[in-house]
Chain A
């Protein structure tokens, strides 16, 4: 018996626009947030999310509903797209975008939020993705393990290290946080 997602993907593969839109409406928000937090760029996040949906339609698509829920598969696809881009740009481009914030921009966007963005961008890629999925998308350790192809213990360990690093990087803002939040 085919799942609803499978049926929609099947229809979208033969050019049914309504089917791809239903898949998009159901999943695009968390995927976009995830992509945006990884890349720090609206344009890159849009491109990655679009690419993930389009990749579902390709004959060689590795989505297997028997093994992975579509949501988990799509998060994994976003991550893979991001990693591809990172390799192409040697990570520095993504780093520059976050560092590129002027003091004025920082003031406008909120100093704490900027500090958090900078701190997360400074995390190693392996910790950053785990932290974003766990904290911002509220995914379980098992789901994150499936997306990042890691054991749950490894996910837990990376998450702890990420939080420890953030705690250290953001320590200077702690009094500020109390005042602002």
Chain B
């Protein structure tokens, strides 16, 4: 048998292709780096938001630097949007609580027509001889005004909510809405707008 014949014979012994288990087994045994968990990212995100809020509130209590620093303005806007969202959620909850608290409406001490709920989170009250007034309630007057660049057109800062009582002025008359249970955890500001 010459070299070529021997080589030919040796070539007949072929190795099989490796099975997928070779790769899978390696990966199973491979010591992976521990993936960063969502929890850690969340903690960092919350810490960043908290720090930003502290910064914005701090600046809000001092001079107004926000116009000079776009990043601060962005953070401030974001903060206001968050507050608006919270306010919206709370206003909706407040409207539901008022509706469930058998509110009695009086205008200048005289019983008046019941409240009208909606659209949205606003409620309406009929002021005899003065027209219909829509009202909304927010937690903080300053932030509400700041986020909207002043009082929104037609809306007037006209009263407040305290415990189970809503009081505001509309059309030169004193409107009182008395509920049979507290409707807000803390005092709130009431803005009123006359409907056309």
Chain A residues in the interface with B (C-beta under 8 A): 12, 14-17, 20-21, 24, 28-29, 32-33, 36-37, 42, 45-47, 49-50, 53-54, 57, 110, 112-113, 115-117, 120, 135-136, 163, 166-167, 170-171, 173-174, 177-178, 180-181
B177: shortest Cβ distance to chain A, in Å?
64
Contact A166 B32 (CB under 8 A): no
**Binary CB contact string for chain B from 109 to 147 against chain A (1 if under 8 A, 0 otherwise):** 000000000000000000000000000000000000000
**B149 at interface, CB cutoff 8 A:** no
Chain B contacts with A in 44-65, Cβ cutoff 8 A: none
| Pair count A-B, CB < 8 A | 92
- Please judge, given known A-B contacts A36-B16, A171-B1, whether A15 and B32 are in contact too, CB under 8 Å: yes
Q: List 20 A-B contacts (CB under 8 A).
A: A12-B30, A15-B33, A15-B34, A16-B33, A32-B22, A36-B16, A49-B18, A50-B25, A50-B26, A112-B12, A116-B9, A116-B12, A117-B13, A120-B13, A136-B10, A163-B3, A167-B6, A170-B1, A181-B8, A181-B12
Which residue of chain A has its CB nearest to the CB of B34? A15
Contacts A20-B30, A46-B25, A174-B5 given: A32-B13 contact, CB under 8 Å? no
Q: Please classify how large the interface on chain B is, using the bins under 10, 10 to 19, 20 to 34, 35 or more.
A: 20 to 34
Nearest-neighbour CB distance to chain B for A178, whole angstroms, equals 8
Report which B residues bind A (CB closer than 8 A).
1, 3, 5-10, 12-16, 18-19, 21-23, 25-27, 29-34
State whether A177 touches B5 (Cβ < 8 A).
Answer: yes
Task: Find chain A residues with CB under 8 A from B3 CB.
Answer: 163
Q: State the majority secondary structure of interface residues on A.
A: helix
Whether B19 and A46, one on each chain, are in contact in the complex, defined by CB atoms closer than 8 angstroms, is yes
Contact check, B6 vs A15: say whether CB atoms are below 8 A apart: no
Pairs of residues from A and B, 3 with the lowest C-beta to C-beta distance, nearest first: A15-B33, A33-B15, A116-B13
Complex Cα–Cα for A113 and B11 (A): 8
Partner pick for A167 among B1, B12, B16, B33, CB 8 A cutoff: B1
